[in-house]
Each structure stands twice: as structure tokens, then as C-alpha cells.
Amino acid sequence: MVSRPIIELDDVSKKYDEQYAVDHLTLSVKKGEIFGLLGPNGAGKTTTILMLLGLSEPTSGKVRVSGIDSTRNPIEVKRKVGYLPDDLGFYQHMTGYENLMYTAELNGIPTKVAKERATELLKKVNLLDSANKKTGKYSRGMRQRLGLADVLMKNPEVIILDEPTLGIDPEGVREFLQLIRQLNQEEHITVLLSSHHLHQVQQICDRVGIFVKGKLIAEGNMESLGKQLFLEDTYHIHVSASPLSDDLLQKLKAIPNVNKVEIERSTVNLYCQEDVSATISKVIVESGSSLYGIQKKNYGLDEIYHRYFEGREADGRK
């Protein structure tokens, strides 16, 4: 039997003052997946998360978590989902352990169970040594790890993390991401992570959705994303040859998977969707020209992502 997705957004929109913050979004996340919501500031990530949690009502469309309608049954959804906002406030005069116990009390978890769970989770997030230290003295990275332990106290099926690594140093980020991966594997928790850092999302997410101005412009695993975003020039091949006759240029343009050919003095730049450098060399030599050099560059998703946001307006193209 094919299991139902644990997170389902079906043609969901949210408008503020006639402006779409989320624009007809359809997305599903399977149980056990780590899904990354990737996009620049203002793309609509937080708005999407708030609708999933039932804290904001969609203008249209359906939102379900674990089969529960988030808009109609926000309290039931809250029981199943652990939410870590970008900066979770703790009671600073209380220790890490006391904060977790307080969360347990608010969620009606019996004290004996809560004590064991808090200790186990503090160990998991590597805070056992600081369990009795006041959270006012915790670093930002420690607070985020405590935040993770906090959302896990109620044994959620899904955890939603909104920009969880903001303000943490690189080593802390690495540890935090590893921890999420470990929790996902050991406790089979589904994770939805929002971020505007591609390289972080790339490290741990099984699938990623790229948001721009409320629209999902691409979705998939890392390999397929590059192709969806920049199909025509994933490979950039730089050729130095002479002479560069019109006939040769026509032949280069006619090679399958070559999308664009630009001449720059005695060199040619070819933008291709596959690595066709061997064919290019062959065409040049067979045409009687001399080939002096050929270099190729395969744009990683990181560069593609940056070029996309620097150079283009979102126009909803896939």
C-alpha cells in the first residue's frame, strides 16, 4: 500500500493586501523524508509553515499534516508537530533541564516519563554537561540544540524548523545538521527545514523545493534541481581554435545539446545541457581548424542558485 504523504499542501494560496505571499502551492512530503524549503527572504517560507501549523489560515486550498486538516484542527496538528522557530525563547533564569521539564508539564507528560525523556534528549543534543546551567548563559548554538530537544519532548511525528542555523558558527551548523540527520534516521521523524542557505540544505535534505515570490519554481533531489533551473547551460565549454569560420560555427551550433554559441575574439563559448566536449573537439579537427584548448565547467547547484537569484526575476518557469 502506498502511504499517504505526511505533509500535503494542495493548491494553497495566502494573500496579504491583494498580494500573494504564497501563490497556488502544491507540495507533499513523505513520511521519513527531510525536505528543504529553500528561498530568499520574503519568498513565503514562514507563511507556508504557519499555515501547516494552523496558525495562519490559507486564502484558498487545503493544508494537511498526518491527514489532519491544519486549518480546521490546529490543536490536533500541534500534538503531532514540533515547531522550532528561528529563535525559540527559553526561560533564561531556568536551566536547560528545567525548561524541558516545563514544556513536558505544559504538554501533560507525566513527570517520571518526562525526566527520562529530558535526560535522554539532552544527551542526544550533546547538552548533558550543561543541563544544569541557566539558559541565559547558553550560546546561540546551544539554545538551538536545546530547542531541538524541546520540540522532541512530545514525541512529534514531524518537526518543522524555520531557519534553524541563523547566527550559529560554521562548526555549530555542522553539528546541528548532523544531529537532525541522526534524529531523522534513529527516530524516523519527518523533517521540514526552511533555509536560504543552499549548501546547508544540500547537506542533509532528501528533496528540496525552491521558492521565489510565493511560487515553487523547482522541486526534487539535487541532481534534478540543477536541470530544472538552468536546463540550457548547465555545462559551459570554452574553446580556443583557429580559424573560426562561419561554416565551423554553424557546425558547432548544430551539435545536439548545444544551446548557445558565443564568439569572443579567437575563442568560442558554448552553453550546453550535456558534456559534449568530445564532439566539439571532433567537429573542429574534422573541419580542418586547429584546436588549441578546450575547458569545461559544470555549474554546481550552488552557482546555479546564486546566478538564478542574482540575475533573474522569478517568472514561474520550470
Smallest distance from ligand ATP to CB 46, Å:
3
Smallest distance from ligand ATP to CB 71, Å:
16
In 3D, which of 103, 94, 152, 102 has the Cα closest to residue 123?
A: 152
**Cα angle 78, 3, 154; round to 5:** 25
Smallest distance from ligand ATP to CB 194, Å:
7
Applying the rule CB under 6 A, the residues between 291 and 310 that interact with ligand ATP are none
Residue with cell string 555542522? 174
Smallest distance from ligand ATP to CB 113, Å:
35
The answer to whether the beta carbons of residues 152 and 88 sit under 8 Å apart is no
Sheet holding 235-242, edge to edge: 258-264, 267-272, 235-242, 290-298
Smallest distance from ligand ATP to CB 12, Å:
12
Nearer of residues 46 and 234 to ligand ATP, judged by Cβ: 46
Q: Which three cell numbers stand for residue 164?
A: 534553524
Nearer of residues 44 and 156 to ligand ATP, judged by Cβ: 44
Q: Which three cell numbers stand for residue 83?
A: 515547531
* Intra-chain end-to-end CA distance of the chain, in Å: 31
Do you find a cis peptide bond into 256, omega within 30 degrees of 0?
A: no
Site string for ligand ATP, 31-50 (x = CB under 6 A): --------x-xxxxxxx---
Q: How many residues bind ligand ATP (CB under 6 A)?
A: 10
Nearer of residues 129 and 313 to ligand ATP, judged by Cβ: 313
Smallest distance from ligand ATP to CB 314, Å:
12
The answer to whether the beta carbons of residues 268 and 258 sit under 8 Å apart is no
The answer to whether the beta carbons of residues 299 and 223 sit under 8 Å apart is no
Applying the rule CB under 6 A, the residues between 15 and 34 that interact with ligand ATP are 16, 21
DSSP string, 155-207: --SEEEEESTTTT--HHHHHHHHHHHHHHHHHH--EEEEEES-HHHHHHH-SE
Nearer of residues 84 and 125 to ligand ATP, judged by Cβ: 84
Smallest distance from ligand ATP to CB 59, Å:
12
Applying the rule CB under 6 A, the residues between 257 and 286 that interact with ligand ATP are none
Smallest distance from ligand ATP to CB 121, Å:
27
Task: Tell me the C-alpha to C-alpha distance, in Å, between residue 219 and each of 43, 134, 243, 246.
Answer: 15, 42, 44, 40
Nearer of residues 57 and 187 to ligand ATP, judged by Cβ: 57
C-beta atoms surrounding 297 within 10 Å: 11
Nearer of residues 39 and 164 to ligand ATP, judged by Cβ: 39
Nearer of residues 16 and 91 to ligand ATP, judged by Cβ: 16
Is 216 near ligand ATP (CB under 6 A)?
Answer: no
Nearer of residues 52 and 101 to ligand ATP, judged by Cβ: 52
Smallest distance from ligand ATP to CB 252, Å:
42
Q: Which three cell numbers stand for residue 298?
A: 559544470
Site string for ligand ATP, 44-83 (x = CB under 6 A): xxxx------------------------------------
Nearer of residues 38 and 301 to ligand ATP, judged by Cβ: 38
Task: Indicate if the alpha-carbon torsion angle 122, 126, 131, 134 is positive or negative.
Answer: negative
Binding residues vs ligand ATP (CB under 6 A): 16, 21, 39, 41-47
